[in-house]
Chain A
Amino acid sequence: MASHGLSPSLNRLLLALKYATFQPRCCAVHKAHYSTVYNGNEKTFDKILIANRGEIACRVIKTCKKMGIQTVAVHSDVDSSAVHVKMADEAVCVGPAPTSKSYLNMDAIMDAIRSTGAQAVHPGYGFLSENKEFAKRLAAEGVTFIGPDTHAIQAMGDKIESKLIAKAAKVNTIPGFDGVVKTAEEAVKIAQDIGYPVMIKASAGGGGKGMRIAWNNEETREGFRFSSQEAASSFGDDRLLIEKYIDNPRHIEIQVLADKHGNALWLNERECSIQRRNQKVVEEAPSTFLDPSTRRAMGEQAVQLAKAVQYSSAGTVEFLVDSKKNFYFLEMNTRLQVEHPITECITGLDLVEQMIRVAKGYKLHHKQEDIPINGWAIESRVYAEDPYKSFGLPSIGRLSQYQEPVNLCNVRVDSGIQEGSDISIYYDPMISKLVTYGATRAEALSKMEDALDNYVIRGVTHNIPLLREIITHPRFISGDISTNFLPEVYPDGFKGHQLEASTRRELLASAAALHVASQLRSQRILGNQRVSNSPVECSCWELVVKLGKEAHPVTVTRSGNTYTVEVDGERVEVCGQWSLASPLLPLTINNTHRMLQSLSRDASGEIVLQYLGTSFKVRVLSKLAAELNSYMPEKVPEDTTSILRSPMPGTVVAVSVKAGDTVAEGQEICVIEAMKMQNSLTAVRQAKVKSVHCKAGETVGEGDLLVELE
């Protein structure tokens, strides 16, 4: 009894000890991302303005703080309480929510620079980062642009010009050639000359936006139309180019870093092959595919290109690599890439710090032989999107609960949001970049599993189910990947984690145990004399757990915090603290640690658990309730083949039909634009249009009725 009395204080002591040792270790780990120590004597800038938002703005501010540089954030009105605004020393509102009026509003940003006296501007990625006009205007006012010279931006920003330069610099380029395309028919002719398949993309674009692949004339025409529209709306420049499409390639890019004194380094590669709709989802460094000689060849060509344009600052040279390790220059991004943290992890360099140094005119400290590959780093892009719809359609909402797995070692989370933040239709739906690091790839991968399981995101739909499936897929683990990984592995679309008999039992047992724990808690009314004191807990709970259409009879017995569950003829032991308030549900199931998440629980027995990344809805009923439930009528869900609802929130760009029209299966009905992506919604069957409930220019929410068919 005495020891029992001691235990709370002992516990606290133990906790304190754990905390005391844990904290510095974690810090050390955090620092391990950057092995180079910042030199405080090297004077750079007093004040930098960050012309961006979200995670990259926060990322830049962090390094500025380290370097003792004052920071200025710019923000749109809806972002006025965003994390990057709070982190910065000063903040200036540069306009309303739409990016064209705020983050792309050069006049307002120039005003902000003048009013705050910022000496330099870090543009992050996207927005004005590769805008030569912006760089020119900064130069005109004597403000340093933290990035390459206007000349390099211009040369590399244009895909056609960049290819010419690359060729001249003896960099391998993609077969087939290209030119500015003005009409659909011209596009078809060029495509035929090159030979199908071809890729059509915006000349000014990057990051997969405005990019379409065509396998025949028809698709070329359609692709031309979409890409030119998107190019116009995203980049204000509707020029396109067409080139040979390399089937089943890998996307591997080389990080380069150059100074203003003609020195340039390659900081190894990043493997970015896991993509959906040409946008990266999971990246890693190094690549499992490259041998040292290929790596060197790619690195050297990248450096040649950088030198050819007198590049300074950090940049990325993207290559397509075919199965025979032939590599072709794709494009050069003259900015900090989204996925730069994995390069930082394996090289120990702080790229933002280097960019700032270089911008100030310092020489690079490092020589090529100083650049190591230390361990392995993986990055998962956590997006607010529904992975069950074409591997990810944007979702919006308010992060009602949000907890990053930063308490784990070797985990880095770059984010610009926090609990309570809004994911709006105005900006990129990225929640964070989750980076894990390890001595080996296996270590980094297993850490990523843990990190994804410990990541609490509520209020928006997110892609953690997909990320976790990717990083645990045998093909990914073996390194057998290409840019077609997702469509090849999930030809019928992503369907979430597929349970096996044993994992199904674990899930059912956990749900049953959680149900019993919650039922028992309902009986614990404190200090109430009027609760029956004859024991109400039955020794054995007979339950039925329904998962999908299948009902599984289950019996549960309890001993302390351990629940023994008989399910499908097997015995499963589930042990945990059973906190009914925490979103995380750490359990030990048959002696294996599992981190489940409790997403919701309601009075009618419905429990939603996140297990192995995917959320599963089960219903736990007592045997009696389950028996009686069989009398309850099934309510018929509405027929979805005759109504078209918006799959995501966004703006209606075009409505291609009117009431009374007959549409063929697959015919376009309307186009919704969300997060700068245009999505064509098509008829699922041949039918007559009964009524149209939307018009071009309208904003629609997810699930809003657009068109009814007869």
Chain B
Amino acid sequence: SKLREKYLINSSQRDCRWYSVSNLSVKERIEKKRKAALLGGGQKRIDAQHKKGKLTARERVELLLDPESFVESDMFLEHRCSDFGMEQDKNKFPGDSVVTGRGRINGRLVYVFSQDFTVFGGSLSGAHAQKICKIMDQAMTVGAPVIGLNDSGGARIQEGVESLAGYADIFLRNVLASGVVPQISLIMGPCAGGAVYSPALTDFTFMVKDTSYLFITGPDVVKSVTNEDVTQEELGGAKTHTTVSGVAHRAFENDVEALLNLREFFNFLPLSNQDPAPIRECHDPNDRLVPALDTIVPFESTKAYDMLDIVHAIVDERDFFEIMPNYAKNIVVGFARMNGRTVGIVGNQPKVASGCLDINSSVKGARFVRFCDAFNIPIITFVDVPGFLPGTAQEYGGIIRHGAKLLYAFAEATVPKITVITRKAYGGAYDVMSSKHLRGDVNYAWPTAEVAVMGAKGAVQIIFRGKENQAEAEAEYVDKFANPFPAAVRGFVDDIIEPSTTRKKICRDLEVLASKKQVNPWKKHANIPL
């Protein structure tokens, strides 16, 4: 309501000299339209939205952006449908079912669209799509991220193909903007059918627990086609997409928490691919020693530890924004800062499935690495990987193809790449995890590192097949290979470092690598094994 008053004051203060006498009514009409636009689908629907525990499109925008920074566009734009009674005045809503514009998050520019569920259930009309496309085009022109707040029942059925065209227009822009400006989707209500592909094309998809759904076809259609009984929540709720499908990157408790977290997340991102990773004022000393790291890797190489403990201890202020924390947990990815500068963290998680690489973790890691590379964010990789997960499920599922994605992503990346081998780096997985051979800039090994083709037991069984004294041979193998020396003497790791000095060393390296320039050969686009 405060927002509304502000607009009214602004409009009433406007100098009227330019209007002719007859245009006095125009002024009134402007005010009326503005007032209507601010109310969206009307108070009743706003109340209904609140009752569902959801905020309105405008409330969301206001909470997401810095106070008074929102500059709205196309507030007067209306849908153009004339069928099924849609042409009647009561079915016209200024601004239609989406609020668009630009604003700032902690002073940094961002373009936003927020679908308004109170107007035709947030359904996508040609006009709705046009508004989104307009701000996306502007975002591309100036180089600023786009945030979409999705809350839409789907296509505006009354408009038919015009609505479909609208989707496609948005999809095209999503694709063109990909790798140019960061795109983030926050699903805050339903998002079904074709509509899901816009979030799917963006860099990050976040969801609100209990109130948001993403699916191609809803439970009713599923029931009629496959005879499966499934609830909306099970089919496409936040839990499903953040743990099972990997479609969404994170879920938050409610609208307010989601928007506040989105602000925090935004702080990590550069504005475009032409901007460097942001450097925020940092209070954590860059030369801080972390004695806890000297004892974190257990002596038995089969014993697990939590890679997140390492990450938290090394990064600024223990502040780590994890991406996909509940999906493919055998790899950890997310954003943090080192001496204020945003970095992407990738780490094998020994706590889950021994930190092995499988289909899901490879894809999760690859997508994250490519985002970092596209947006000038240095990548720090912590390696403790026993290899790729064996088995028919993995082979039939195409682990070769999917594992190649992670390999591809690391190899292709030209941003600063720093790698720390904390323990195991076995087999092909060693190569994959940002190894020196894939143009790693600085590759460190902790004293506990073991770089080898495989674990001692397996290796001995092959080398000394059928021979006696397997135990002795195993001990010899351990002595030879279960340490950082074989890699260090060949220059495959640059140094063996005390774990407690890791933070200090990485901060120093990042400073040097800030001016790194590396260009891949010219190509129309690369052909990642999809």
Contacts and interface: CB of A to CB of B under 8 A. Distances in A.
Interface of A: 77, 80-81, 398-402, 418-421, 521-528, 530-532, 536, 538, 579-582, 603-605, 621-622, 624-625, 628-629, 631-633, 635
B107 A398 contact: no
Contacts of B108: 525, 528, 530-532
A527 B270 CA distance: 13
A523 B107 contact: yes
A709 to B, nearest CB: 26
B278 A400 contact: no
B256 A536 contact: no
Given A400-B318, A628-B63, 14 more contacts: A81-B294, A418-B292, A522-B264, A526-B280, A528-B278, A532-B104, A532-B107, A581-B317, A603-B257, A604-B252, A604-B257, A621-B256, A632-B53, A633-B254
Listed from nearest, the 4 A-B pairs whose CB atoms lie closest are A420-B292, A603-B264, A581-B284, A524-B281
Nearest to A600: B318
B66 A628 contact: no
15 contacts: A402-B292, A418-B291, A420-B294, A525-B280, A532-B109, A536-B66, A536-B106, A580-B317, A581-B285, A581-B317, A603-B261, A625-B260, A628-B55, A631-B50, A631-B53
Interface in B463-519: none
Nearest to A627: B59
Interface stretch (B117-125, B308-316, B353-361, B421-429): B308-316
Contacts of B520: none
A366 B350 CA distance: 58
B165 interface: no
B291 A420 contact: yes
A81 to B, nearest CB: 5
Given A526-B281, A536-B66, A538-B67, A625 B107 contact: no
Contacts of B299: 77, 80-81
A354 B323 CA distance: 59
Interface in B80-114: 104, 106-109
Interface of B: 50, 53-55, 59, 62-63, 66-67, 69, 104, 106-109, 210, 252-257, 260-261, 263-265, 267, 271, 275, 278-285, 291-296, 299, 309, 312-313, 316-318, 340
Nearest to B59: A628
Contacts of A80: 299
A632 B271 contact: no
A662 B121 CA distance: 52
Given A421-B295, A521-B280, A581 B316 contact: yes
A670 B483 CA distance: 46
Given A603-B263, A624-B63, A629 B280 contact: no
B292 A581 contact: no
A525 B277 CA distance: 10
Nearest to A529: B275
Majority DSSP secondary structure for residues of B touching A: mixed
Contact of A581 (B261, B278, B279, B282): B282
Contacts of A528: 108, 275, 278-279
A530 B271 contact: yes
Nearest to A580: B283
B61 to A, nearest CB: 12
B293 A604 contact: no
A324 B191 CA distance: 78
A531 B107 CA distance: 5
A400 B271 contact: no
Nearest to B341: A526
B126 to A, nearest CB: 31
Nearest to B2: A624
A635 B243 CA distance: 20
A185 B475 CA distance: 59
Contacts of A522: 106, 264, 267, 280
Contact of A526 (B53, B66, B312, B340): B340
A420 B69 CA distance: 45
Contacts of B284: 581
B280 A524 contact: yes
Given A81-B295, A419-B291, A523-B107, A604 B256 contact: yes
